[in-house]
Amino acid sequence: MNPSTLPLAGIRVIEFSHMVMGPTCGMILADLGAEVIKIEPAGGDKTRKLPGLGAGFFRTFNRNKKSVVLDIGTPEGRASALALVDSADVLIENFRPGYMEAAGLGYAALAERNPGLIYVSHKGFLPGPYDHRTALDEVVQMMGGLAYMTGPPGQPLRAGSSVNDIMGGMFGVIGVLAALQERHRTGIGQEIQSALFENCVFLSAQHMQQYAMSGEPPPPFPARVSAWSVYDVFPLAGDQQLFIAAVSDKQWLSLCDVLGASELAADESLRTNQQRVAQRPRLLQALRVILANFDIDTLSGLLEKAGLPYAPINRPDQLFDDPHLLGSGGLVPMQTDSGEQTQVPLLPLLMGGRRLGVQRPLPRVGEHSEEVLSSLISH
* Closest by CA position to 100, among listed 87, 89, 111: 111
Instruction: Reduce the DSSP state of residue 6 to 3 states and report it.
Output: coil
Q: Which of 315, 341, 368 is the last residue of a domain?
A: 315
Residues of the chain above pLDDT 90, percent: 96
Q: Cα–Cα–Cα angle for 24, 27, 33, nearest 5°?
A: 150
Spell 365-379 as b/e; 16+ CB within 10 A means b: bbbbbeebbeeeeee
Element (H, E) at 57: helix 57-61
Q: Are residues 233 and 365 in the same domain?
A: no
What pLDDT band is residue 226 in, cutting at 50, 70 and 90? Answer: confident
Tell me, rounded to whole angstroms, the distance of Cα 159 from its chain centroid: 12
Q: Are residues 73 and 186 in the same domain?
A: yes
Mean pLDDT of 143-171: 97
**Residue 255 domain-assigned?**
yes
Mean pLDDT of 77-104: 95
What pLDDT band is residue 332 in, cutting at 50, 70 and 90? Answer: very high
Average pLDDT score, the chain: 96
Element (H, E) at 332: strand 331-335
**Residue 215 domain-assigned?**
no
**How do residues 254-263 score in pLDDT, each as one tens digit?**
999 999 999 9
What pLDDT band is residue 293 in, cutting at 50, 70 and 90? Answer: very high
Alpha carbons 77 and 200: distance in angstroms, whole number: 36
For residues 37 and 372, the answer to whether their CB atoms sit within 8 Å is: yes
pLDDT for position 1: 60
CA trace torsion 186, 190, 194, 195 (10° rounding):
-150
**How do residues 183-194 score in pLDDT, each as one tens digit?**
999 999 999 999
Residues 6+ apart with CB under 8 A from 334: 59, 63, 341, 342, 343, 344, 358, 361, 362
**Residue 209 domain-assigned?**
no
pTM given for the model: 0.94
pLDDT for position 136: 94
Alpha carbons 64 and 334: distance in angstroms, whole number: 10
Q: Are residues 136 and 170 in the same domain?
A: yes
Domain that holds residue 256: 226-315
What pLDDT band is residue 72 in, cutting at 50, 70 and 90? Answer: very high
Q: Which of 165, 232, 267, 322 is catalytic?
A: 165
Q: Are residues 187 and 123 in the same domain?
A: yes
Active site residue 89: no
**How do residues 48-71 score in pLDDT, each as one tens digit?**
999 999 999 999 999 999 999 999
Q: Are residues 247 and 105 in the same domain?
A: no
**How do residues 168-179 score in pLDDT, each as one tens digit?**
999 999 999 999
Measured over the CA atoms of residue 189, residue 191, residue 195 and residue 201, the dihedral's sign is negative
For the chain, the farthest-separated pair of C-alpha atoms sits apart, in whole angstroms, at 82
Alpha carbons 112 and 98: distance in angstroms, whole number: 18
Q: For residue 38, list its beta bridge partners.
A: 15, 67
pLDDT for position 357: 95
Phi, psi dihedral angles at 164 (to 5 degrees): -75, -40
Instruction: Reduce the DSSP state of residue 49 to 3 states and report it.
Output: helix
Q: Is the pLDDT of residue 343 over 70?
A: yes
Q: Are residues 24 and 66 in the same domain?
A: yes
Q: Are residues 162 and 305 in the same domain?
A: no
Indicate which CATH number applies to the domain containing 281: 3.30.1540.10
Mean pLDDT of 305-325: 97
Q: Are residues 335 and 257 in the same domain?
A: no
Phi, psi dihedral angles at 78 (to 5 degrees): -65, -40
